[in-house]
Amino acid sequence: EPEVTQTPSHQVTQMGQEVILRCVPISNHLYFYWYRQILGQKVEFLVSFYNNEISEKSEIFDDQFSVERPDGSNFTLKIRSTKLEDSAMYFCASSGYQETQYFGPGTRLLVL
Amino acid sequence: GENVEQHPSTLSVQEGDSAVIKCTYSDSASNYFPWYKQELGKRPQLIIDIRSNVGEKKDQRIAVTLNKTAKHFSLHITETQPEDSAVYFCAASPTDSWGKLQFGAGTQVVVTP
């Protein structure tokens, strides 16, 4: 069964550094999402992406965040200047049109 | 925007008993309600979902009910087993923001043998 994959599984960075989190969605899906989950808390929506543009974004997704589909398979989340409070698990998800979202295994980001 | 409340936050059940988790939502435009199971350190995995055109859906030991008038939906797990132990999240998504899942705070379910 196809799955969403994410790299790296863990990322440690210094405050103020840029990080790029990578995702490979399920191949026939056209809708892509990023969520984050601070330890012990609920999953929070960040952004949805379709047809090479952002469809929706939450108030968390400020100017420090950007997403990109650089080629036919990858979907990336960039945090331009990381803050301590960006430490969280970041999940990528993908879906078909108005269908179930399938989540990747996550990238645990730790900002020191 | 949508706000999803989930109760209880923790639920302990004896193996073989039933577990019920309840969620309420605020946006009457929401029409898609998935439930995800998340084991420690793992990805959320869909266990069942329901759309607003039906009131109940069942898949083996798992069922979901939806009351659109009252804006609440519930997850029912029957004949619980130790492997049902996990955190369960409900979520809601409105038609005009499909994909923007708003999650509840989660319920830690512990099934004791």
B46/A105 CB distance under 8 A? no
B100/A56 CB distance under 8 A? yes
Is-contact B90 B104, C-beta < 8 A?
Answer: yes
pLDDT tens figures, B42-89: 999 999 999 888 899 999 999 999 999 999 999 999 999 999 999 999
Per-residue pLDDT of chain A (112 residues; tens, 9 = 90+): 789 999 999 999 999 999 999 999 999 999 999 999 999 889 999 999 999 999 999 999 999 999 999 887 899 999 999 999 999 999 999 998 878 899 999 999 999 9
Q: Which one of B30, B31, B43, B57 makes the best mutation probe of the A interface by having the most chain A beta carbons within 10 Å? A: B43
Q: What is the 3-state secondary structure (H, E, C) of A1-49?
A: CCCCEEECCEEEECCCCCEEEEEECCCCCCEEEEEEECCCCCEEEEEEE
Closest Cα partner for A76 from A18, A23, A10, A37? A23
Task: Quickly tell me which residue has 């939450």 as its tokens.
Answer: A58
pLDDT tens figures, A73-91: 899 999 999 999 999 999 9
Phi and psi dihedrals of A111, rounded to 5? -105, 120
pLDDT value at position B52?
A: 83
Give CA–CA dist B84/B35, Å, rounded. 13
B105/A41 CB distance under 8 A? yes
Q: Is the pLDDT assigned to residue B96 strictly greater than 80? A: no
Q: Which residues of B62-77 are buried (b: 16+ CB within 10 A; e: fewer)?
A: bbbbbeeeebbbbbbb
Phi and psi dihedrals of A84, rounded to 5? -55, -40
Q: Considering only CB atoms, which chain B residues are within 8 Å of A44?
A: 103
Q: Considering only CB atoms, which chain B residues are within 8 Å of A53?
A: none
**DSSP label of B9:** S
Chain A contact for B106, CB < 8 A? yes
- How distant is the alpha carbon of residue B103 from its chain centre? 9
pLDDT value at position B53?
A: 83
pLDDT value at position B97?
A: 67
pLDDT value at position A79?
A: 98
Give mean pLDDT, residues B90-113.
89
**DSSP label of A9:** S
Question: What pairs with residue B90 in β-bridges?
Answer: B35
B104/A42 CB distance under 8 A? yes
